[in-house]
């Protein structure tokens, strides 16, 4: 059976990523969705991009764009945006390339430039950060899908009826969060948490960390979404 597996925010954690892929063992028929934020903060963004490029020939890889890829693009393009990126984790990304933007190989930039804004299957939708429930995926505002956290309030189900899988809002306790219609797979790998992969059809969760530890579990029972607070 072909699997659809989403991988949470990697943030330069090449050790955890390589261990995760060893456990997931992607097959040709599998779709692996990268939820974005491959770079920044962690120690080896260079290594992460190289691993992801290697994955292209192993399976159907669907890499999404995260806000950190956006910061990297604008930082490398415009001198006045460079400091913003460097201060938000770009420092570590540059360090992984020997401290020089000129050292970033063209095939890494080509890979990053091919990342997508969103992806969907018959049953699931995938975006880096968040979504507006009433708006079709292709028309979602960039500010929401790349930057907006999913806390306060938790968004209502998307109008498509599909289950949303997102990263970006770090779960400090290291557990994938399940609201039924919304699943959050950023489990804070770069900050002593875990890197997660979720089989979206079976609910199987694989997790690794930067010490090379591995654990597996299944998605918890859905939490009840709190009512939106009154706006008055």
**Both tokens of residue 209?**
């960390």
Would you say 37 or 44 has its CB closer to Mn ion? 37
Would you say 8 or 82 has its CB closer to Mn ion? 8
* Least separation in angstroms between CB 68 and Mn ion: 6
Count CB neighbours of 144 within 10 A: 15
Would you say 169 or 207 has its CB closer to Mn ion? 169
Q: Name which position in 45, 67, 209, 210 contacts Mn ion (CB under 5 A).
A: 67
* 60-63, strands of its sheet edge to edge: 60-63, 31-34, 4-7, 195-199, 204-208, 214-218
| Cβ contacts of 219 within 8 Å, gap of 6 or more | 176, 178, 183, 198, 203, 204, 205
Q: Does 66 bind Mn ion (CB under 5 A)?
A: yes
Decide if 37 contacts 70 (C-beta within 8 A). Answer: no
Residues 153-192 that bind Mn ion (CB under 5 A): 168
* Least separation in angstroms between CB 69 and Mn ion: 9
Residues 18-57 that bind Mn ion (CB under 5 A): 37
Interface residues with Mn ion (CB under 5 A)?
37, 66-67, 168
């Amino acid at each position: 059976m072909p699997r659809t597996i989403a991988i949470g925010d990697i943030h330069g954690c090449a050790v955890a990523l390589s261990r995760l892929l060893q456990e997931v063992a992607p097959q040709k028929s599998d779709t692996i969705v990268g939820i974005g934020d491959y770079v920044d903060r962690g120690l080896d963004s260079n290594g992460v991009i190289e691993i992801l490029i290697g994955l292209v020939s192993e399976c159907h890889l669907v890499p999404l764009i995260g806000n950190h890829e956006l910061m990297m693009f604008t930082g490398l393009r415009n001198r006045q945006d460079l400091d913003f990126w460097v201060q938000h984790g770009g420092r570590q990304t540059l360090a992984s390339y020997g401290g020089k933007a000129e050292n970033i190989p063209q095939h890494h930039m080509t890979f990053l430039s091919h990342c997508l804004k969103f992806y969907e299957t018959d049953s699931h939708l995938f975006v880096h950060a968040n979504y507006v429930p009433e708006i079709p995926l292709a028309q979602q505002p960039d500010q929401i899908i790349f930057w907006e956290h999913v806390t306060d309030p938790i968004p209502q189900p998307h109008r498509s009826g599909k289950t949303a899988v997102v990263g970006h809002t770090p779960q400090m306790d290291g557990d994938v969060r399940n609201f039924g219609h919304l699943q959050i797979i950023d489990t804070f790998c770069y900050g002593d948490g875990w890197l997660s992969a979720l089989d979206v059809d079976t609910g199987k969760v694989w997790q690794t960390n930067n010490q090379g530890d591995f654990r597996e579990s299944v998605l918890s029972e859905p939490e009840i979404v709190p009512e939106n607070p009154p706006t008055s």
